[in-house]
Each structure stands twice: as C-alpha cells, then as structure tokens.
Amino acid sequence: MKIAYRSHILRRMMGYLSLSIGIGLATPMSYALESAEANPALTPSPTLAPIDPLSPVVESTPPTEPAVPEVVLAPPETPFAKQLAQQLAQPTVILKTANKTLQSVEQQKQLYSHRAYNPVWTNEHTLTAQGKALLNTLAQAELEGLNPEVYSVSLLQRLTTQYPNTLEALAELEMLYTDAFLLYGSHVHDGRINPKTVNKEWYIAPEIPWDGVSALENALSSAQPMDAFLASLPPPHLEYARLRTALKVYNDYLKTAGDWVTLPLGKKIQPNERSPQIKLLRERLRFSGELTDESKRTDEELYDNKLVNAMKSFQIRHGLADDGVLGDSSRKMLNISLAERIEQIKLNMERWRWVPRDFGEQYILVNIPAYRLDVYEHGKRIYDMKVMVGRTDRNTPIFTEKMTYLVLNPHWGVPYSIAVKDILPKLRKDASYLSRQNMRVFANGTELNGQAINWSQVSSSNFPYQLRQNPGDGNALGKIKFMFPNKFSIYLHDTPKRSLFGLNDRALSSGCIRVEQPLNLASYVLGNSDKWNKDSIQKAIQSGKHRIVNLDQPLPVYLLYWTAWIDDEGTMQFRDDIYQHDERSLQALTKLQVVARK
C-alpha cells in the first residue's frame, strides 16, 4: 500500500483519515535519560489514602552534567523496602494479584539490592514519574510492532487504577512493573526472537545483549526524563523510524477503512483495453494512493493512461516490471492484504533489532531482496546500483565484514560445489569445455592436462581437482573483484553477463554479489585519488595483469535482508521474500504469541 509518502498524496490521506505523516523528514532518535524521583517510604497502615495514581507529574530540569551512577548496597530500611526484599527472597515468587510466577527474580534482586529495595515505579499513593512513563510506553507498544498485552498492560492499568492498599500488593505491583520493563526493553532493543534460530543464513554476530538492570540504573542515576530513556531503546536507525511511522499509518488505515479489494486472476489486460476488472483496479489503486484525481474520468472500465501510470507506480514500488500490463504477477501483488503488509512491516522492524546500532560513518549495504547496493556516508545514501544475488537454492548469506582490497583481472578459483554441480556434468559431455572457458585443472598444487582426464569416471564424491579460470573477457568474475575476507568466500565482483542486469528478478548467482557498475565502485572504494581513479583503474585492467590493490582504510560491507522499507522520497517499498526469511520469522513469532496466550 502506498500510503504514498509524497506530499500531494499525504494531503489527500490526511484529509481522508485525519493523519499527519512526516516520514521523509524523520530523523534518528536521540534522547536523554530521566532522573530518579525520590520515593516516599511507606508507613505500616491497614489502608492508604486514595489519590489519583495517574495524576500529572512535573518533570525535574536536567542538570548540565549527568550524575555518575552509584551502586548502593544497603539493607532495606522502610517498611515497603523490607516487604519487597522479603518477597524477592522467596525461592519462587508467586504474584497473587496477577496469578503468575515472577520470571525475572534474579534480575530484580540485582536491581533492588543496589537501591536498598526502594521502589522505582510506585510510591505510597501513586505511580512515580518513572512508573507513569513506563505504563504510557507499554500501552503504546503497538507503535513498535509489539503486542502490549505481552507486557500485561491491561493488568497493570487495572491494578494501578485500583491502587493497592497493602504493602504486599504494592510490592507485587512494583515487581510487575519491573518485570514488564525488562521484557519490553529486551524485545524492543534486541528483538523477540534469536535470528539464528529461524534463519540459518543469518551470520551477523549479535551485540552484547541488552542489560536491563544496568540500563535502568544508569537512567535512574541521571537527571533526564524516563520517557526519553524508554524511547531510546528501539533501534536508532532512520529506516526503523520510517517503518514505525508507516506501521501506524497502515494500522490506522485498516481500522478506519478496512482492507482493500482483491482482483481475480485471469488474462492479461493491456493499456487502452476495456474490462469489468478495471473498475476493481481503480478502487484498489485509489485505496493505496497511486491513483488520485479522477475528476475527468468518464469510463470506469477503460484502462486509460492515467490508470496505467498509476499501475506502473505500483509495480515499481513492489519490484515488478513497470510495463503497465495487468497480469497475474501484478494481481498477486495487489491481492496481498493490508493485514499481511502490516505483518511484513513488523517483521522488518524486528530484523532491524538484530543488526548493529551503528553501521559506521561510511559503508556499503547490499539489500538482497531489492537486488540493490547502496553506498552511505554520514548516514546518507550517496549512490546506488543494481546487483545480482544468490539463487534461491544458493542463498547469499546475511553477514558483515570489512572490505580491505580489490583484485584487478582476477583469477576465479571455482568453488567445489560449483565444480561438481555445474561444471562436472559439462565435462562428462565435452572435456574441451575447459579450454573454451580458459580453465585449468590442478591436483595438490600440480597442474594437470584436463583433456587427459576421464571425466566420466569422476563423481562428486571422487573429485580431487581444483579448477581455476584465468583472467580474461570470459572470466566469471569479470575484471574486478572486491574482497571483504569471510568464511563463506563471498565477495562483490564484475560479470561478463551484463545483460542480466536488465532482468527484474536477479537472484541468479551462486551466492556472490555481481555489481552493475564495478568501475565506479572501484574508483569510490580506492578514494578516487590521483593514483586511483576511473582512468588509471581502466588502464590497469587493459594491461591484462593480475593485480591486488589495498584500500587505504577498511570499508564495512553489510549484506542484509529487507523486504519492506521507505525510500528517501518517502515512498513505501515492498519486495518478494525470495529466501522465505520473512515466512520463517513469522512462524516463530506466531508460536511465541500462542505460548504467551497460554
């Protein structure tokens, strides 16, 4: 759905749903932390005076210099602190008011023992500023693609409204808030699932897991707002912030207008043809924003130029060939429901929690499902190019390493899997294939005569050879190879099959990344200096000599997997889940939701 983030469509949508969207202007969040609010000690009394637990709280003014965190190891002194310490000292903490067993006992012991068991979220009659900020954040967890009820929001709201009047119940409420904070923080910071358990091609090493206790202690000992601290927990990336805004728009749209119509599969409809289905297409593209002013339209069933252009816009932002033809590939994309798109956005938000929070000042990012390489400097994309990625049976893995050198006029050491799966069957039919492809055969470092080998007697389980293709016009790596050493032997490279960049679906390689503009990329990574620029690189290639050129500084390369994002023009983009990573992640999250309901 293009809740199309261009200004003229924004104005139309804002009038339709009274929404205000500013995705294109979003910036990464940078927030401060909140100071600890002094918590009044409880006095032992049978009942506590009723005071509105959600009354307004005046935030303190942040000091010029943040306070240095201190760990207080002192015994509990107040009646409430003693009650909290007593309950946390039990081997199993059963919360009677919630009818559940506390899962975060050890973390809570660590937190409260450092603060003499003084409460964080509650005091004698009401929630503290911290408690109110947390409850508000949890109630809006849906904005982060999370389910508020996973964090017991309804229960917390009910118990807070009917504020406890005994020390035991108040201690349970305090522990419930801490439990919810730790779980929410872990989910929104690190993700709900471990990517390696659902994606065998995910090899980005996780950062140090979020330490909720230390994070909260630091927040409480600084003089900064708690709501800002909580808002700093999600990924700080601009792309995540854009998806979050899109998620709200999509959810509001679904609640307000319902889902869009679907189109039955059938014969292709060309521009300027007439069909009853065109009326449905008009309704569908009006709903998602591609089709706007139709005040001069007279024929509902004519596939006119305005509707064709709207269809092309839809095709472009869904990774389809923008031919304007209404065929089944376009119908299937049109028929993906709004609810499914919402889940797709959530999955990509989850995936942003699995990557480093800082990609660096300068880096290369390959989005595998988009078949695109982007170059970034200081958080801004400076240029991009098409790429080809691994086939669906030879997936490009998801990982990051640093590019350190490139190779001009490279040899190609044929990987074993390609040698036995792709080349061996050809050699069995014609041994001259090697000479035609400028390939050589080695065994234990010794070159052999490939024509003299009886390839019909060689099998994948009995293949003691190494194949190497010499540099040249037909070399599978083209004229340039970009190396970021890794255990997968994956790299970026040129290709002699340049016509394939004209294809729409480019999952065509055996795992490596073929780049559309190798000369431009080489000039960029080498600094475009007097020594290495397009002309000097081209001359070095024309010499035919195999040459290694080191980069002055290592350059991070990220091979990632995004099927939903908002581009710099503010347009929502979706792509096919070519490796079924979304599907597996959705299955895992669905299982978690089932367990949570139980």
Same domain, 485 and 530: yes
pLDDT at 295: 65
- The range of the structural domain enclosing residue 66 comes to 31-233
Same domain, 227 and 367: no
Mean pLDDT over all residues of the chain?
Answer: 87
Q: Are strands 399-408 and 513-515 parallel, antiparallel or unpaired?
A: unpaired
Same domain, 427 and 384: no
Same domain, 383 and 450: no
pLDDT of 14 above 70: no
Instruction: Answer with the one of 470, 500, 518 that is the final residue of a domain.
Output: 470
> For residues 293 and 429, what is the distance between their CA atoms, to the nearest angstrom?
62
**387 φ, ψ to 5°?**
-140, 165
In this predicted model, what pLDDT tens digit does every residue of 430-460 receive, in sequence order? 989 999 999 999 999 999 999 999 999 999 9
b/e for 131-160, b at 16 or more Cβ within 10 A?
bbbbbebbeebeebbbebebbbbebbbebb
The predicted model gives 199-222 an average pLDDT of 91
Same domain, 75 and 42: yes
Same domain, 40 and 142: yes
**Segment among 31-45, 139-153, 301-315, 517-531 with least mean pLDDT:** 31-45
Identify each DSSP E strand in 276-321 by its residue range.
none
Contact predicate 492/362, CB 8 Å? no
The predicted model gives 72-81 an average pLDDT of 81
Same domain, 380 and 528: yes
Catalytic residue among 114, 318, 512, 581: 512
> For residues 320 and 219, what is the distance between their CA atoms, to the nearest angstrom?
47
In one-letter notation, the amino acid at residue 569 is E
pLDDT band at 125 (very low <50, low <70, confident <90, very high): confident
Any domain includes 372: yes
Instruction: Answer with the one of 470, 499, 515 that is the final residue of a domain.
Output: 470
Identify each DSSP E strand in 171-292 by its residue range.
none
pLDDT band at 480 (very low <50, low <70, confident <90, very high): very high
> For residues 175 and 186, what is the distance between their CA atoms, to the nearest angstrom?
17
Is 318 a catalytic site residue? no
For Cα atoms 172, 173, 179, give the angle at the middle one, nearest 5 degrees.
85
Full-model pTM: 0.85
Any domain includes 305: no
Same domain, 428 and 374: no
Any domain includes 335: no
In this predicted model, what pLDDT tens digit does every residue of 299-333 receive, in sequence order? 889 999 999 999 999 999 999 999 999 999 999 99
Same domain, 222 and 137: yes
Instruction: Answer with the one of 233, 258, 283 that is the final residue of a domain.
Output: 233
Q: Are strands 372-377 and 380-390 parallel, antiparallel or unpaired?
A: antiparallel
In this predicted model, what pLDDT tens digit does every residue of 547-585 receive, in sequence order? 999 999 999 999 999 999 999 999 999 999 999 999 999
Any domain includes 321: no
pLDDT band at 409 (very low <50, low <70, confident <90, very high): very high
Secondary structure (DSSP) of 13-59 = HHHHH-----GGG--------PBPPP-PPP---SS-----TT---PP
Is 378 a catalytic site residue? no
Nearest by Cα to 588 from 576, 596, 578: 596
Same domain, 389 and 401: yes
pLDDT of 69 above 60: no
In the chain, how many domains are there? 3
> For residues 570 and 266, what is the distance between their CA atoms, to the nearest angstrom?
33
**CA 132 to each of CA 37, 83, 233, 424: distance values in angstroms, whole numbers, following the listed order:** 12, 22, 17, 68
pLDDT of 56 above 60: no
Identify each DSSP E strand in 295-433 by its residue range.
362-367, 372-377, 380-390, 399-408, 412-413
pLDDT at 591: 84
Read off the tokens for 21.
């969207």
Catalytic residue among 318, 493, 546, 581: 493
Same domain, 449 and 500: no
Same domain, 516 and 403: yes
In one-letter notation, the amino acid at residue 81 is A
In this predicted model, what pLDDT tens digit does every residue of 576-593 receive, in sequence order? 999 999 999 999 998 886
pLDDT at 594: 53
